[in-house]
């Protein structure tokens, strides 16, 4: 090749390479992520870190070959719905959501956008999918398990505090799946010789009022929701103030001072969701991705909190626990 030809070719490459690079950058796939947590919440950050780490293992790096649009709803249902609509308008390749309240909206408005959910109960009963094995439509994901888990948690609470005869259940009445869990709790209550009072909490004032009223009851069952997540530190402090044994859905409540929890690890479902997102970005269709239930549940207890409540936990219980926080 003559020197003049080489220089001409090199100059042409210098001109076209940036254009090619920009074209490749513009082809980056887009993921929308909607979470009920605030951006500063350590539990929310733990789950997102699990998602990003698994995506990176699968070859997807935010800012390189994928753009991730995060929306933090901070426990506010109206903000969740607004962000859901905003993400749909961006026309991403896939949306990840952990908020059951917005799934009907996404089902209705995002017909062509695949949606992967995490930590949502009874997607069949709520009409989100036709079956777990083949979720026809645009929605699939990972559930919190069967409603019967509510009865199991009540059993754990009774084992920890055998003298209780009344339980106040705190839930978000806007979530139909939580109503289903509460019905399972009530069904299990008679065999455990306890009565159940179900109370809805839509905000911080509801939590304060409910726990003050629960002082007349001896114990609490707290369901995880946008509200109880957002105000969990105050909730845990009030339970301690009124000397109320309490059972929670997830470990992070116990790490922050709650008495006990029985449930799956939500961060694990974000890792699983990353694998589904990877498959969707590579061409998989939603009906090819079955809805999955948790396969492992963890029993966690805070021994310091138990002692502060004057509870002596059976040795058999401590040996059975997956984690004892001291």
7 band by pLDDT with thresholds 50, 70 and 90: very low
What pLDDT does residue 39 have? 96
Tell me what pLDDT residue 125 has.
87
Model confidence at 18: pLDDT above 60: no
User: What integer pLDDT is reported at residue 33 of this predicted model?
Assistant: 98
Which pLDDT tens digit goes with each residue over 251-279? 999 999 999 999 999 999 999 999 999 99
Predicted TM-score (pTM) of this structure = 0.87
> What are the extents of the domains in the chain?
29-144+266-288, 149-263+298-325
226-242 pLDDT, tens digit per residue, is 899 999 999 999 999 99
| pLDDT at residue 8 greater than cutoff 50 | no
Which candidate, 214, 212, 250, places its Cα nearest to that of 232?
250
Inform me whether the pLDDT recorded for 25 exceeds 70: no
SS3 (DSSP) at 107? helix
What's the chain's length in residues? 326
pLDDT of residue 4: 43
pLDDT at 20 over 50: no
pLDDT at residue 176 tops 90? no
Q: Phi first, then psi: what are they for 62, rounded to 5°?
A: -60, 125
Report the share of the chain in percent with pLDDT over 90. 76
3-state secondary structure of 140: strand
CB 170 within 8 A of CB 255: no
pLDDT of residue 91: 94
The CATH code of the domain at 29-144+266-288 is 3.40.50.2300
Q: What is the pLDDT of residue 16?
A: 38
Residue 74: name the closest of 40, 107, 108, 103 by CA: 40
For residue 21, what pLDDT is reported?
37
Tell me the average pLDDT across 139-149. 94
| b/e code 157-181 from CB counts within 10 Å (16+ = b) | bbbbbeebeebbbbbbeebebbebb
**Which pLDDT value is given to residue 218?**
83
User: From 3.90.550.10, 3.40.50.2300, 3.40.109.10, 1.10.3720.10, which CATH number describes the 149-263+298-325 domain?
Assistant: 3.40.50.2300
pLDDT exceeds cutoff 80 at 5: no
14 has a pLDDT exceeding 60 = no
pLDDT, tens only, 182-208: 999 999 999 999 999 999 998 888 888
Cα distances from 30 to residues 112, 117, 148, 189, in angstroms, run 14, 17, 37, 47
Judged against a pLDDT cut of 80, whether residue 301 lies above it is answered with yes
Place of tokens 């998989």: 284
What is residue 171's predicted lDDT score, i.e. its pLDDT? 93
């Amino acid at each position: 090749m003559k020197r003049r030809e080489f220089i001409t070719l090199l100059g042409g490459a210098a001109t076209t390479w940036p254009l090619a690079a920009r074209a490749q950058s513009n082809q980056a796939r887009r993921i929308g992520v909607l979470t009920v947590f605030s951006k500063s919440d350590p539990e929310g950050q733990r789950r997102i870190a699990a998602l990003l780490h698994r995506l990176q293992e699968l070859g997807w790096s935010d800012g390189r070959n994928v753009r991730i649009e995060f929306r933090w709803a901070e426990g506010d249902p109206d903000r969740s719905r607004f962000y859901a609509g905003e993400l749909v308008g961006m026309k991403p390749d896939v949306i990840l959501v952990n908020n059951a309240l917005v799934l009907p909206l996404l089902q209705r408005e995002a017909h062509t956008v695949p949606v992967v959910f995490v930590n949502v109960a009874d997607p069949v009963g709520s009409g989100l999918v036709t079956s777990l094995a083949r979720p026809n439509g645009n929605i699939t994901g990972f559930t919190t398990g069967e409603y019967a888990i509510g009865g199991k948690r009540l059993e754990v609470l009774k084992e920890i505090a055998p003298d209780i005869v009344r339980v106040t259940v705190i839930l978000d009445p806007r979530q139909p799946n939580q109503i289903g869990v509460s019905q399972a709790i009530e069904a299990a209550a008679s065999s455990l010789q306890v009565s159940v009072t179900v109370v809805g909490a839509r905000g911080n004032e509801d939590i304060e009022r409910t726990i003050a009223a629960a002082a007349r009851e001896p114990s609490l069952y707290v369901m995880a929701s946008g509200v109880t997540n957002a105000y969990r530190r105050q909730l845990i402090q009030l339970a301690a103030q009124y000397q109320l044994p309490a059972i929670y859905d997830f470990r992070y409540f116990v790490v922050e001072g709650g008495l006990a929890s029985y449930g799956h690890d939500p961060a694990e479902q974000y890792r699983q969701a990353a694998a589904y997102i990877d498959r969707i970005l590579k061409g998989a269709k939603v009906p090819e991705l079955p809805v999955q239930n948790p396969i492992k549940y963890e029993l966690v207890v805070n021994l310091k909190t138990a002692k502060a409540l004057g509870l002596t936990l059976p040795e058999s219980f401590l040996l059975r626990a997956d984690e004892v926080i001291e």
